[in-house]
Amino acid sequence: MSKDPDYLDYNGLKIDPLIFTQGFVPACDLSICGGRCCHWGVNVDKPHVDVIMQYEDKIKEVMDKHQPKDSSEWFEKESHEDEDFPSGYAIGTEVFVSPQGLEKCVFNDSIGRCSIQVMAVENGMHKWAIKPKYCIMYPLTIVDNVLTCDLDHAERLDYCGTSHPENYTRTVFESTTEELKHIIGEEGYNFLNDHYIKHYKSKNIYSKESEEKI
Ligand code: SF4
């Protein structure tokens, strides 16, 4: 990623101003997209695999009959170096082929839900308690210590993707209030929101603000 002098800095994390201008849909809606952003799996901080595996049996309980129950098939065998993860190493979730012939993350169920999140909710935990960080963040991502929009995924997605601007009603920043507060805290969110109001809000071209569906 090339250096951009317009990046903001928050506690050492660089912020790409693209998050203030890139459009997004009113809300993630599995009834429309089926959770397609999950079809490639996700990279997980290496120690976080052990956290997820502490809930192995409970996750199996909420998986549908087609998802692989053999947990040796849930994660790649080898980790790889990645400085964007706290341990410096990441491991990918594996994919499987659904009855519809779609490759998708092993944790993605038949109606597009994440079994890790479903398990958490059904067991009284916060919905994101053990969900991989980069899944929580989407359509945001962090690449080379820059908080930005995940255009790699967005270019491949129907409904919310970059080839469907007709579906956009607001910016990625406006769509990810809860996610940003979770990732960089309330103070970090307020810092970004002040910047957004001062420099971007009046120029927002996505004026069709609408109700969230979820
Ligand atoms: S872990 Fe859950 S949210 Fe992340 S890609 Fe897999 S199914 Fe989707």
Confidence of residue 5 (pLDDT cuts 50, 70, 90): low
How far apart, in whole angstroms, are the C-alpha atoms of residue 93 and residue 106?
7
Q: Is 36 a member of any domain?
A: no
105 lines ligand 1 (CB under 6 A): yes
How far apart, in whole angstroms, are the C-alpha atoms of residue 44 and residue 85?
8
Among residues 131, 161, 186, which one ends one of the domains?
Answer: 131
φ, ψ of residue 207 to 5 degrees: the values are -90, -5
How far apart, in whole angstroms, are the C-alpha atoms of residue 27 and residue 5?
31
At 129-143, the pLDDT tens digits run: 999 999 999 999 999
Confidence of residue 207 (pLDDT cuts 50, 70, 90): low
- The percent of residues above 90 in pLDDT, for the chain, comes to 78
Among residues 87, 106, 131, which one ends one of the domains?
Answer: 131
Q: What is residue 3's predicted lDDT score, i.e. its pLDDT?
A: 54
Q: Is 63 a member of any domain?
A: yes
- Do 180 and 124 share a domain, yes or no? no
Amino acid at 3: K
Q: Is 200 a member of any domain?
A: yes
Ligand 1 centroid to Cα of residue 105, in Å, is 6
- Do 21 and 60 share a domain, yes or no? no
Q: What is the mean pLDDT of residues 1-30?
A: 87
- Do 119 and 183 share a domain, yes or no? no
Average pLDDT, rounded, for the chain? 92
At 26-37, the pLDDT tens digits run: 888 898 888 889
Q: Is 37 a member of any domain?
A: no
Q: What is the mean pLDDT of residues 31-57?
A: 94
Q: What is the mean pLDDT of residues 174-197?
A: 96
Assess whether the previous peptide bond of 5 is cis (omega < 30° from 0).
Answer: no
Residue 1 has pLDDT above 60, yes or no: no
Residue 212 has pLDDT above 50, yes or no: no
Mutate to test the pocket of ligand 1, among 42, 94, 119, 150 (most ligand atoms within 8 A of CB): 42
134 lines ligand 1 (CB under 6 A): no
Q: Is 13 helix (H, G, I), strand (E, B) or coil?
A: strand
**How many domains does the chain contain in total?**
2
- Do 127 and 168 share a domain, yes or no? no
Amino acid at 213: K
Mutate to test the pocket of ligand 1, among 135, 140, 153 (most ligand atoms within 8 A of CB): 135
How far apart, in whole angstroms, are the C-alpha atoms of residue 197 and residue 214?
25
CA distances from 85 to 91, 132, 154, 209, 214 (A): 10, 11, 22, 34, 29
Residue 147 in tokens: 């908080």
Residue 84 has pLDDT above 80, yes or no: yes
Residue nearest to atom 8 of ligand 1 (CA): 38
Q: Is 135 helix (H, G, I), strand (E, B) or coil?
A: helix
Q: Is 165 a member of any domain?
A: yes
- Do 13 and 73 share a domain, yes or no? no
DSSP letter at 93?
B
- Beta strand pairing status for 13-15 and 146-149? parallel
Among residues 66, 99, 131, which one ends one of the domains?
Answer: 131
Q: What is residue 4's predicted lDDT score, i.e. its pLDDT?
A: 59
Provide the residue range defining the domain that includes 8.
Answer: 1-29+138-214
43 lines ligand 1 (CB under 6 A): no
- Residue 19 CB burial class (10 angstroms; 0-12, 13-18, ≥19): buried
Confidence of residue 174 (pLDDT cuts 50, 70, 90): very high
